[in-house]
Structure 1
C-alpha cells in the first residue's frame, strides 16, 4: 500500500504557485521515467511518492505506459493486422456505446474511428471476452489521452493485469469481488450495509458491476477518474474497493434517507457532484484512508476464487464431462 496519503490538492483556479508546482511535478516525472524500468515501476517508492503528489496531464499517458509496461507488450504490426480481421459480433454495440459515453467527442464515433478500431482489434485478439459497454468507456478514455496504438497496448495490459476476468463468460471474479465489497461496506458502515443489502435487497453484484467493470467511468468526474486511474495502475484492484467505500461515505446521508432501491443505486452510480470532495486529490485521499486491509483483500480474493472455481468445475464435469472445460484464449496474428 502507499505511504501516508496526500492532503487535498490544487485549487480550482490555478495560481502562479500551483502552476509552478505543476511544472515541477512534470520535471520530476520526466527525470524519473528514464531511470526506473517499467517492469519495476509499480514497486518503486519514488514512483509511488510522485503518484501521490500528482500526475500532470501533459505526461499522464507516458506514466500510464510505464505503469502498465505496455511498450514491452507491443508487437510491431500486430495492431494493424488485427484491424483487418472480420467485424466482431459486438461491432454495432461498440458504435452505439461510443456515442452514448462520449457524446461530445465526435472523433470517437465513426465506424472507422479509433474507438471502434481499438475494440475491434482487442476482441479479435481475445475472443473469449464478453463485450460490455464498460470496455468502450475504458478504451475511450485511454484514447482521449493516448495515440491510438499506444492506447491499444495500454488497454491490453490493463485487461490482462486487472480486468479481464470481469468480462469473462465465467463470472467467478466479479462474484468474489462483489462479495468482498459488501463485507468491506459492512465493516466500514453497518447501518448503510443493512439499508442496501437487507432493506432494499440489493445484490452485491448489482453494485460491484457498474463500478468495477467501468473503472468508475460515468460515476466520477473526469479529473477524479484520472487520479483514481493513476493509482489503480500501480495498486491494482484493491484501490477499486477503496474508491467504492469512499463513494458510499460521500453519499451516506442520501442512502439513509433513500426510500427505494432505485434511488439508492442512482446515488451510488451517479453521485451528486456536491457530495464529492471539492478536488480530485481530496477524493483520492479519502479513498486511501478508508478502513481496509489491502493484503487481506488480496488473500481473500485468491482463496474465494479458488473455492468458486472448484465448485464450478465440479458442476461442469458432472454435467458435461471433461470436454466441458474451457480455457482462455488469445489469437494473435503474425507480426508483419
Structure 2
C-alpha cells in the first residue's frame, strides 16, 4: 500500500501534495518516491498517475465530451489524415488494438487532443503514448487528460510543435552526457561516424514507448508521471540503456551493426526491469534538472541563431 494514502473507489488523497509541507512532508515524499521506483501496484496505477501527473487538476467536467462531439468542420485535414494513418499501425500485436475497441478509442483521444491544442495538433509519437495510456487508464477520457498533462506540463515547451526544437535539442544534451558518462562508447560512436541523436530521438519523442516492453515502460512512466523531475528522468533512462548495453555496443565494429543493435536489441540482453530502474536512478547524481535545462536552452539558443544566419544568407 502506498504510504499514508488510501486508493479505493474514491479519490487519491494527498499524493500530489507530498513534499511541500515541511520536514514531515518531505520525508513522506522520499518514501513515496522510493515506492514509485519499485513500481506502483497495477490496481492503483491509473489513479496515482492521474493524481501525480496533474491530470486530475487539469480535468474539466464535460470538456472532453465536447471536444469529441465537435463536427470536425474546423479540423486540419493534414492532421486528421496523419492520425488516421497512424492509428491503424499502432500496437498491432496487442489484441485491444488489433481486434478490440482500441483503434476507435485511440482515434478519439488523438482527435480530441488535436482540437484542444491546435498549436501542436498531432505529432508522430503521440499515438504510441496515447495507446499505452489507454492500456492503463480506466477510460479514454482519463488517458486524454494524462496525455494533456504530459505534453503541456511535464515535457518542455515546443517538444511536439512543428519545429520539434526542444526534442531535437534534448538529443544534443544527451550526446553531451554520453561523452561525460560513457567516454569509451562516445569515442567508439565517433570513430564509426555514428550520429546517436538520429537513433535516440524517437526514444524521447515517444517517451520510450518504441523501445521498452510494456512492463518496463510503465515502470519508467511511474517515475516520469509521479515525480517532479519526469523530463530529467528520460535522460537517466537513455543513459542507463546505453550503459547497460555498452559492452555489446563496443563489440559492434560497423555503423550498420550499431544501428541494428540500438534499433532492435537494446532490451533483449539480460537487462532486468529492476536493473534498468536502479541504473537510471543512480544516474540522478550526474544528470541534474538545472543542468539539463541549462544545456537544453543553450542548444535551442544556438539553433535559433543558426536559423537566423541561414535566413540572412538566403535573403542576400
TM-score strictly above 0.5: yes
Please point out which of 104, 115, 120 is paired with 2:93.
104
Stretch of structure 1 that moved more, 177-186 or 262-271: 262-271
CA shift in 2, pair 1:121/1:312, >3 Å: farther
Shift of 1:286: 1.2
Please point out which of 107, 112, 128 is paired with 1:116.
107
Hey, what's the Cα distance between the residues in 1 that align with 2:158 and 2:216? 25
For the 8 Å contact 1:212–1:240, the answer to whether it is kept is: yes
Please list every run of 5 or more consecutive structure 1 residues that lacks an aligned counterpart in the other structure: 1-23, 322-336
Q: Cα RMSD (Å) of the superposition?
A: 3.1
Hey, what's the Cα distance between the residues in 2 that align with 1:71 and 1:195? 46
2:7 aligns to what SS in structure 1?
A: helix
Q: Are residue 150 (structure 1) and residue 142 (structure 2) matched?
A: yes
What is the aligned partner in structure 2 of residue 172 from structure 1? 165
What is the aligned partner in structure 2 of residue 243 from structure 1? 237
Hey, what's the Cα distance between the residues in 1 that align with 2:3 and 2:92? 31
For the 8 Å contact 2:15–2:52, the answer to whether it is kept is: no
1:102 aligns to what SS in structure 2?
A: coil
2:193 aligns to what SS in structure 1?
A: coil
Q: Are residue 183 (structure 1) and residue 176 (structure 2) matched?
A: yes
Aligned pairs, number: 295
CA shift in 2, pair 1:74/1:237, >3 Å: same
For the 8 Å contact 1:29–1:50, the answer to whether it is kept is: no
For the 8 Å contact 1:276–1:283, the answer to whether it is kept is: no
For the 8 Å contact 2:16–2:52, the answer to whether it is kept is: yes
Hey, what's the Cα distance between the residues in 2 that align with 1:131 and 1:260? 36
Q: Give TM-score scaled by structure 2 length.
A: 0.81
Hey, what's the Cα distance between the residues in 1 that align with 2:279 and 2:58? 34
Q: Are residue 227 (structure 1) and residue 219 (structure 2) matched?
A: yes
What is the aligned partner in structure 2 of residue 200 from structure 1? 192
Shift of 1:191: 1.6
For the 8 Å contact 1:162–1:236, the answer to whether it is kept is: yes
1:133 aligns to what SS in structure 2?
A: coil
CA displacement 1:184-233 (0-9 Å, x = unmatched): 1111111211222x223233531331110011112111111111011112
Please list every run of 5 or more consecutive structure 2 residues that lacks an aligned counterpart in the other structure: 21-25
Hey, what's the Cα distance between the residues in 1 that align with 2:270 and 2:211? 11
What is the aligned partner in structure 2 of residue 81 from structure 1? 66
Please point out which of 277, 288, 291 is paired with 2:271.
277
CA displacement 1:51-73 (0-9 Å, x = unmatched): 12320111111111011121221
CA shift in 2, pair 1:181/1:213, >3 Å: same
What is the aligned partner in structure 1 of residue 292 from structure 2? 298
What is the aligned partner in structure 2 of residue 90 from structure 1? 79
Q: Which structure's relative contact order is higher, taking Cα pairs within 8 Å and 6+ residues apart? A: 1
Q: Give TM-score scaled by structure 1 length.
A: 0.76
CA shift in 2, pair 1:124/1:312, >3 Å: farther
Shift of 1:308: 3.5
